Structure 1
Amino acid sequence: MKVLVTGGYGFIGSHVAERFHKEGYEVFIIDDLSSGKLNNVNFKHRGYQLSVEDQKCEEIFSSNRFDAVVHLAAQVNVATSVENPRQDAKSNVLGLINMLSLASKYSAKKFIFASSAAVYGTSEDVPLPESAPCNPISPYGMSKWVGETYCQKWRDLYGLETLCFRFSNVYGPRQNSIGEGGVISIFADRIIAGQNIHIHGDGEQTRDFIYVEDIADAIYRASYSQLMGVYNLSTQTETSVNSLIRLFEELHGTEPDLIYQGARTGDIHRSVLNNENIKKDLDWTPMYGLRQGLTKTYEWFRQQHSASLEITHQAPNPTSRTRYFIQVFKPYLENLLAFILISWLTLSQWDMAYSFIDIKMFYITIIGIMYGNRQSIMAVALSVCLLTYQRLLNGHELVSMLYDTDFFFQIAIYLCIGLVVGYAVERKNGKIASQDIEIKELGEKYEFLNGVYREVREVKNELQQRIMNSGDSFGKIHSITKELDSLEPDEIFVSTVNVIESIMNTRAVSIYIANSNRDYLRLVAHSMNIGEETAKSLKVEEHDYVGRVFLGDQIYVNRELKPGVPLMVAPVQRRGETVAIIALDDIPFENFSLYYQNLFKITVELVSSSLSRAFSYVEATESLRYVEDSSILTNEVFQSILRNKRMAKEKLNINYSLLVQSGHVDSLRDFSHKLKGLLRETDYIGLGAANELMILLSNTGPEDVARILERFAERNIFLKILEEEVTYG
């Protein structure tokens, strides 16, 4: 089974992911690492460093069909939500909408959303039940309240099973000082480091502290339950800050220095959540008291503090600074060196020999090509300065140069070359940079998709290996289901028991067929070792699981292990209607999984196909199966059904009784109509070898026959039981 935990590298998320892993789930994590840490999760999993609002998340959902999605990723800092509500809404609202949409689109079985006690606001009418009015005082609380509404609407609009948990103050290992429950982590960190503890107010303000592993336990158990809606998740225990300090003093052994400060504006004095509903509906209760949870939390912080003291801080690397300096100033240095060379050539005898060549234009062009607009303008400025100095050396007056058109024309040429070349190069560099960014983005997308592809390939190879090596291979299934190749429904029912027993590794299979009114089910076949306590008929409205399977056309799994209810029940369908159900009991624990649930579904679909073919054959040959103008089976057909009943008796110990008519019957048509209301859908009237009228009672033992004969006698129908069966055919 697969679970997706968003924010799975964070404080609560890592504990939730770890719990699912211990329960045998395949764990997937989406986390942008804004507050989470990769080293929080050290077991085998698949992780993706993405924001929950990122569109790439769809690739993860489309490649993996999740049984549960636990949405814990969020911006959890109340102060940050006040300072930047836009960012808070982006993560907590848009991210949630993206996850809900994908969970619905790709048919996740359960969606669990982490809400908060912050939705209640400043209400101190404790303990607060779920029905208490919500009046959040921060954007963080508002985003959580809105999130609950989205979850409810997704359940109403799209049928997604959503569950919202309002956490009280969560604490435990791996927590940092960010978030509503950070007071314990702050106190632990400061006490261990020997620092002062600052307390806002008088310290008598109370909170409802819950240990993180209790949160993980509730989320795991809720993931496979029928629970939906909104629930508080808390201990319903009120603890003051001063009491918390005293517990820390006992753990640390020394009294910390306390500094009491003024109470913060808007701070809630009392906060306790009522947890009666979750305890009743989920049969859950917190396992850790505050002292026990605090001890484990303190030990974790103490170990982290000891480890941090052993880490030596590395000195800054001068190589990186040198590299940065060279990268920034290299173009300017090369420009100056090139200008010095040009100046020497211009003022030397070489320039006089080649006076028809203005090498300053080549200098401007080359620098512009190499470094772009900024350096080309600098080259133009330096060239103008060199040209001015050159003219002064040749005896020109500075004032006269202001009226020299040739001088200004030459400057204009320099400037034109610098601007054109620089602009062209800048444009080219801009396109290259844009293409580099696009290539990088495509490369990242390729790496992401390639990673998803590799994971899918790994899963595919693993499944192929499992199929090849396991006893549930499709080859075996095909071989076993060849037994279903029959055109007689009764023979298929008997064969189905063998098929299900072999594939599902169970010896407790029961098959019930529906009557014409679809309100009763009759037992038609069962495993050899099923005793007399198995019901021979079921009324649909009296059994909840029967109604859910029969009317809802879905496989029922008894995850709550309700007594007297099969572990798995699946519908057998024909033309879109349920005609029978197959019930399994006594399933090995390791087979009580989604894999075997799907295996059961596939096998029952094969049974449905075989039965549809058999029923169609019976309908097509109806005129040949019955004596004309009656519901009495011909001798040949009746013998075939009787052989199937004998086979069921030998293989599965399914009883049947054979009755024969005493005396002569004037009209077969009248006799069949007379019997019609007295027989069940699973009973048969037919002609024996000597054309005597016989009645075959399915799943009926000798102890039931006397009562049946009396009921017939009341209608002036006299029958007797055939004690020693005659071999027919």
Structure 2
Amino acid sequence: MNVLLIGGPGSLTNRMIVKLKKEGHRVSLLTGESYARKGYEKVFETYSFTYDSDSLKEIFESVCPDCILFMGAYDTNFNWNESEREAGRFISAVMNILLSYSVQKNTRFFFLSSDEVFGQGNSEDIKEEDAVWGDSAKTTALIQAEEICRDFSENWGKDVTVLRLDHLYQIPKTIAEAIQNPCASLCMSALKANYISADKENIYSLLYEDDAVEFIYEVMAAKHREYSFYHLSSGDPVSEWQLAQEIKEVLGGHITVLEVKRADSRRRVLSNERFSEEFPSKIRHEREEGVKKIVKYMKKNRAVFVDETEEKLSLGKRMLRQFGWFLKAIFPFLENMVCFIPFFMLNNRTVGSQYFSRLDFYLFYVLLFAIVHGQHQALFSAVLAVCGYLFRQMYTRSGFEVMLDYTTYVWMAQLFILGLVVGYMRDQIRDIRQESAEIQENLNHQLGDIKDINNSNVRVKDVLEQQVVDQKDSIGKIYSITSSLERYMPEEVLFHAVEIVRDLLNCPDVAIYTVHHSGYARMFSATSEQARKLGNSILYQDMTDMYEALKEQRVYINRNLDASYPLMANAIYDNEEIQMILMLWGLPWERMTLGEANRLVVVSYLIQNAVLRANRYLAALEERRYLADTKILEAEAFTSLVQAYYNAKKKNLTECTLLRIECDSATFKRSEEILLDNLRQTDYLGTMDDGKLYVLLSNTVKTEAQIVVNRFMKAGFNSRIIDRIAR
């Protein structure tokens, strides 16, 4: 399964990557930032693009995901300390991602929300259909995002699912993680001040992050889901007061718990009833154990959470950070005023000069700032120039005379018109250049995106080509091997099937058990002593975990590493009934994944036809090729069966022993009834070319066969073990 995970780096994101990779899925990552970021687990392909990028559709088409997981409320790309600003960006990101996703076909989309959408709380466990209520910009944004997802699901017909997580907690690595963690925040308070303030009426349910990952994966892996909204919760309510007492118990008696009454105290516990009814996953991390782990870790790393090392800025730097924008805005005006002084002095020097009296330095001054800074500074410099001109004219004339002189207004009009026109042209040229630069940058960015996507497509193509052409687990390779079963005689197919499973799955320990109506499964063949550890016969219905999985036609995976169960098992069915069970033992832990289970299913289906055909043929031999009115196989059928068992025995695929019964052919029918009462269902009675009566004991060594010999002797029949059969 191809999975596209969307979100910033964080503990939950990385745990999801590890889980998906462990289950054999191919994980691609959309980071939400235009630059490469560290802090992620390794994935198949990483796309460093913002959520508003025009390339999202191309990315989705390139990845071609079966499943998309958007971290949503737990996306670290959004800084909710500035919630008003981030709320709009968050909703825009959700909408853009969903619109890009909408062109995909047969792709599932999952959005992670949180318990925060139920701001008011409830006296009962909150169900999925209960009304939401936002008490902050973040919760309002999450509610809007959920509604957008609901609209895409109900009106657009898309497969969109919202998962609300209930009060996540885990072992924190930084102060920022501890603050967001309800358990760690109380523990940090205890470490800092030796007391914890707790409210008995503040009640919630803690969900360990590893359990949340398992729940999320369970929903993602399901082929069909009944609902589009699910609550993922431990279903274990705990008050803040009770949690504080548990922390105090771990830290020691020097911690004091103070009871307080908070204005925002509430009971906010999500109901996991809908999820529990549909999915089998259970809580693996009990709250008490999780609290102990967190408290012990934080106590051991006390310096990280208590001795904060935040940078202490000087007064000057704090002032610069606070008012830097003002200094940046006022600097051109200060520059203008400083430059006005030399031009004012030059203008005064040239008045009455024989050579420079016609030079207008004020005009040069206004044009200079119009060209360099644009229209705004041209206007300000023109005002300063007019003030300087009027001040100089009043050296020899009164202000009233200057105001009555029309040449003054002509000069002022000339100054303002030239300054504003040149400044306007400068602004237009700057805007055109800036727009061109932005277009060029955007085109270069798109070109880079296309190159990145193309390189990713080339890598994916090469990987797929290698799987199809070269890999031993390619479909073509698997089919070519399994189809070789058609070349064997029916008596040999079941023995060679176990070899094929061993070779294709690279597992040295494989066993095949045949199922009987009595509820027992009897070993037919096995590749090693390890594969025979359960014995020749098992009451498979008593192996509850394995039987439940096989009954639902699922592959059983022994995730608890129970020594009394195989590591993986699958059944071969005929008319919806279990006919055989394939058991694998020698698998390393890292290969006990969904991907390996899928390979076992494919191999089982491909060998199923040949195995069932051979099984039915052998059944026909047993039922139709007997001596008249007996259960004794004729010589040809029995000899072929014995030969198949002996060939398998040479390859260490099974054990068998052949006994010859000392009796006349005239007494075969009477002998048959007595002999069959002392044999198992998997043993065979028949004749060979010498006309003697023989018994083939399957999965029986000589020492065990001696018990049967003694049993026959008590019944009045002499028998002996035959080491070789006549060719």
TM-score (norm 2): 0.59
CA–CA separation in structure 1 for the residues paired with 2:211 and 2:85: 32
Checking the alignment, whether the CA contact within 8 Å between 2:73 and 2:142 is kept in structure 1 is: no
Give the counterpart letter for 1:9 in structure 2: P
Give the counterpart letter for 2:288 in structure 1: R
Q: SS where residue 4 of structure 2 aligns? A: strand
Checking the alignment, whether the CA contact within 8 Å between 1:8 and 1:14 is kept in structure 2 is: no
Aligned residue among 354, 362, 365 for 2:364: 362
Residue 378 of structure 1: CA displacement?
Answer: 2.5
**Cα 1:444–1:157, aligned 2, differ >3 Å: closer, same or farther?**
closer
Residue 216 of structure 1: CA displacement?
Answer: 1.6
**Cα 1:406–1:206, aligned 2, differ >3 Å: closer, same or farther?**
closer
Checking the alignment, whether the CA contact within 8 Å between 1:194 and 1:256 is kept in structure 2 is: no
> Structure 1 unaligned runs (5+)?
486-493, 511-526, 534-544, 550-555, 571-582, 608-647, 657-679, 681-697, 711-720, 725-729
Q: Structure 1 residue 353 and structure 2 residue 272: aligned?
A: no
Deviation track 1:154-198 (CA, whole Å, cap 9, x = no partner) reads: 3896473x5554433322234978999753233122222227644
Q: Which residue of 2 aligns with 1:431?
A: 432
Residue 278 of structure 1: CA displacement?
Answer: 4.0
Within 5 A, what are the aligned runs for 1:488-503?
A: none
Residue 256 of structure 1: CA displacement?
Answer: 3.6
**Cα 1:118–1:346, aligned 2, differ >3 Å: closer, same or farther?**
closer
Q: SS where residue 73 of structure 2 aligns? A: coil
CA–CA separation in structure 2 for the residues paired with 1:366 and 1:223: 66
Give the counterpart letter for 1:421 in structure 2: V
Q: SS where residue 352 of structure 1 aligns? A: coil
Checking the alignment, whether the CA contact within 8 Å between 1:567 and 1:587 is kept in structure 2 is: no
Q: Structure 1 residue 171 and structure 2 residue 169: aligned?
A: yes
Give the counterpart letter for 2:208 in structure 1: Y
Checking the alignment, whether the CA contact within 8 Å between 1:113 and 1:165 is kept in structure 2 is: yes
Within 5 A, what are the aligned runs for 1:478-493?
A: none
Give the counterpart letter for 2:5 in structure 1: V
More moved, 89-98 vs 449-458: 89-98
Q: Which residue of 2 aligns with 1:137?
A: 133
Residue 403 of structure 1: CA displacement?
Answer: 1.8
CA–CA separation in structure 2 for the residues paired with 1:597 and 1:375: 73
Residue 483 of structure 1: CA displacement?
Answer: 12
Within 5 A, what are the aligned runs for 1:143-162?
A: 144=143, 147=146, 150=149, 154=153, 158=157, 160=159
Count of residues in Structure 1 that have an aligned counterpart in Structure 2: 577
CA–CA separation in structure 2 for the residues paired with 1:288 and 1:528: 38
Q: Which residue of 2 aligns with 1:576?
A: none
CA–CA separation in structure 2 for the residues paired with 1:279 and 1:98: 30
Q: SS where residue 65 of structure 2 aligns? A: coil
Checking the alignment, whether the CA contact within 8 Å between 2:250 and 2:292 is kept in structure 1 is: yes
Q: Which residue of 2 aligns with 1:703?
A: 622
Residue 353 of structure 1: CA displacement?
Answer: 0.8
**Cα 1:100–1:13, aligned 2, differ >3 Å: closer, same or farther?**
farther
Checking the alignment, whether the CA contact within 8 Å between 1:193 and 1:305 is kept in structure 2 is: no
Residue 585 of structure 1: CA displacement?
Answer: 9.0
Q: SS where residue 260 of structure 2 aligns? A: strand
Checking the alignment, whether the CA contact within 8 Å between 2:482 and 2:606 is kept in structure 1 is: no
CA–CA separation in structure 2 for the residues paired with 1:293 and 1:482: 49
Give the counterpart letter for 1:169 in structure 2: H
Give the counterpart letter for 1:403 in structure 2: L
**Cα 1:84–1:245, aligned 2, differ >3 Å: closer, same or farther?**
closer
Residue 384 of structure 1: CA displacement?
Answer: 2.1
Give the counterpart letter for 2:359 in structure 1: I
> Structure 2 unaligned runs (5+)?
485-492, 513-524, 528-536, 538-548, 560-564, 574-580, 630-635, 640-727
CA–CA separation in structure 2 for the residues paired with 1:283 and 1:653: 32
Q: Structure 1 residue 9 and structure 2 residue 6: aligned?
A: no
Q: SS where residue 348 of structure 1 aligns? A: helix
Residue 258 of structure 1: CA displacement?
Answer: 2.7
**Cα 1:299–1:28, aligned 2, differ >3 Å: closer, same or farther?**
farther
Residue 50 of structure 1: CA displacement?
Answer: 6.1
Q: Which residue of 2 aligns with 1:421?
A: 422
Residue 413 of structure 1: CA displacement?
Answer: 0.7
Q: Which residue of 1 aligns with 2:384?
A: 382
Q: SS where residue 68 of structure 2 aligns? A: strand
CA–CA separation in structure 2 for the residues paired with 1:157 and 1:390: 76
Q: Structure 1 residue 223 and structure 2 residue 220: aligned?
A: yes
CA–CA separation in structure 2 for the residues paired with 1:462 and 1:106: 23
Q: Which residue of 2 aligns with 1:621?
A: none
Checking the alignment, whether the CA contact within 8 Å between 1:121 and 1:135 is kept in structure 2 is: no
Checking the alignment, whether the CA contact within 8 Å between 1:209 and 1:290 is kept in structure 2 is: yes
CA–CA separation in structure 2 for the residues paired with 1:282 and 1:11: 24
**Cα 1:569–1:215, aligned 2, differ >3 Å: closer, same or farther?**
same
**Cα 1:387–1:103, aligned 2, differ >3 Å: closer, same or farther?**
closer
Within 5 A, what are the aligned runs for 1:66-465?
A: 66-74=65-73, 88=87, 91=90, 95=94, 98-99=97-98, 102=101, 105-108=104-107, 111=110, 113-114=112-113, 116=115, 118-119=117-118, 122-125=121-124, 128=125, 130=127, 134-138=130-134, 140=139, 144=143, 147=146, 150=149, 154=153, 158=157, 160=159, 163-174=161-172, 182-194=181-193, 197-199=196-198, 203-226=200-223, 228=225, 229=227, 230-253=229-252, 254-256=254-256, 258=258, 260-264=260-264, 267-268=265-266, 270-275=267-272, 278-279=275-276, 281-302=278-299, 306-307=303-304, 309=307, 311=309, 313=311, 315=313, 331-332=332-333, 334-336=335-337, 338-348=339-349, 351-393=353-395, 395-460=396-461
CA RMSD of aligned residues (A): 6.3
Checking the alignment, whether the CA contact within 8 Å between 2:126 and 2:269 is kept in structure 1 is: no
CA–CA separation in structure 2 for the residues paired with 1:89 and 1:337: 44
Q: Which residue of 1 aligns with 2:683?
A: none
**Cα 1:426–1:108, aligned 2, differ >3 Å: closer, same or farther?**
same
Checking the alignment, whether the CA contact within 8 Å between 2:72 and 2:111 is kept in structure 1 is: no
Give the counterpart letter for 1:703 in structure 2: E
Q: Which residue of 1 aligns with 2:488?
A: none
Checking the alignment, whether the CA contact within 8 Å between 2:5 and 2:70 is kept in structure 1 is: yes
Taking only the aligned residue pairs, the percentage that are identical comes to: 17
**Cα 1:446–1:653, aligned 2, differ >3 Å: closer, same or farther?**
closer
CA–CA separation in structure 1 for the residues paired with 2:482 and 2:247: 70
Checking the alignment, whether the CA contact within 8 Å between 1:380 and 1:418 is kept in structure 2 is: yes
CA–CA separation in structure 2 for the residues paired with 1:330 and 1:121: 50
Checking the alignment, whether the CA contact within 8 Å between 1:332 and 1:375 is kept in structure 2 is: yes
Q: SS where residue 4 of structure 1 aligns? A: strand
Deviation track 1:460-514 (CA, whole Å, cap 9, x = no partner) reads: 555566677643579x859x869999xxxxxxxx9xx999998777999x9xxxx
Deviation track 1:77-99 (CA, whole Å, cap 9, x = no partner) reads: 9xx99x98997587369717844
Q: SS where residue 258 of structure 1 aligns? A: strand
CA–CA separation in structure 2 for the residues paired with 1:145 and 1:333: 48
Q: SS where residue 363 of structure 1 aligns? A: helix
Within 5 A, what are the aligned runs for 1:556-705?
A: 701-705=620-624
